Amino acid sequence: MSEPSRRISGEFGHVPVMRDRMVELVGAGVEGTGATRPVIVDGTLGAGGHTEVFLETFPDAVVVGLDRDPSAIAQAQDRLARFGDRFIAYRTRFDGLGDALDDLASDGRLPGEFATTGVSGYLFDLGVSSMQLDQAERGFAYSQDAPLDMRMDPDSPLTAAEVLNTYSHGDLAHVLSAYGDERFAGKIASAVLREREQEPFTTSGRLVELLYRTIPAATRRTGGHPAKRTFQALRVEVNAELDSLAAVIPAATARLGLGGVAVFMSYQSLEDKIVKKALAELTANRTPPGLPVDLPDTAASFDLVTRGAEKADAAEIERNPRSAPVRVRAVRRIRSRPGH
């Protein structure tokens, strides 16, 4: 099978969400920084779909792909081997990007001009990847019975089973409510504590059965799959996703070159709220109102590239149903980084 056919067939994973728009947004950063060999960072590499498009579209670019999942790294390296040293995979949680870029620069794997031009474009495609959902043994999907794992990094100590089997009623209810927006968090937590006294939770199928019994029938008929919110909440807790997201935004934008663009794709409201708030702070002008000119160091260093949150259109959703919940926000650096 030829290389293009392999990619189209899905051997290397699913079609990247909003592929053309991501190329357009990241491309604005590539053009804006004017770097001879621009550096693009795919902060959520997964199987490498977006990275592949960037490497094909921007032939002078070096793309650094970050992921905490070694199986994702291995699959992306296979997929992108033809690009040679223009593709660099680095295993880390994405809020470790500062150390990653420093390591790569000191090892001479990034272009020499990177020290002055910085990152031209970032993409953060948040949440669980299509590849992880499709690996039943990882326990991310509620549609298949599997071990209650949900770790994006298999070396991390906390699993979904441990959350269910060891958290107090209050802590578990908080996780389900805060990270899953689950109306019946307290009721589900009570049911989990009763069940685990009989036998610890080990598989997703048993949890799904409990949720069917616990969530009222009327809600099950109208609220989507009864396990959706609980599985999301457990995944976010196990992987500290929201803490990582809050930490990565300042780390990433601090290294964004003048004219560079950072793009964030959120799939649930908690992620989008964090991104929206952080980007609003980055683009805020801190000159007191009423003054005729900006005071030194109070003008915003960034402006918004997107107005509000962009959504996938009907054609995109039909082509790629996983794009339905996505919300895209992007920001561009308009003033030089300190010291540059």
Question: Residue 307's CB: how many other CB atoms inside 10 A?
Answer: 7
- Find the Cα–Cα–Cα–Cα dihedral 235, 239, 245, 247, rounded to 10°: 160
Q: Long-range pairs for 335-340 at CB < 8 Å and ≥24 separation? A: 335/258, 335/299, 335/300, 335/301, 335/302, 336/258, 337/118, 337/254, 337/255, 337/256, 337/257, 337/258, 340/116, 340/118, 340/258
Q: How many residues does the chain have?
A: 340
> Is 20 annotated as a binding-site member?
no
> Is 14 annotated as a binding-site member?
no
Structure tokens at 118: 């910085």
Q: Is the dihedral of CA 189, 191, 196, 200 positive or negative?
A: negative
Please state, in angstroms and rounded to a whole number, the distance separating the CA atoms of residues 199 and 192.
10
DSSP conformation class of 142:
T
> Is 272 annotated as a binding-site member?
no
> Is 50 annotated as a binding-site member?
yes
Structure tokens at 151: 């770790």
> Is 49 annotated as a binding-site member?
yes
**Annotated binding residues:** 48-50, 67, 94, 125, 132
Annotated binding site for S-adenosyl-L-methionine: 48-50, 67, 94, 125, 132
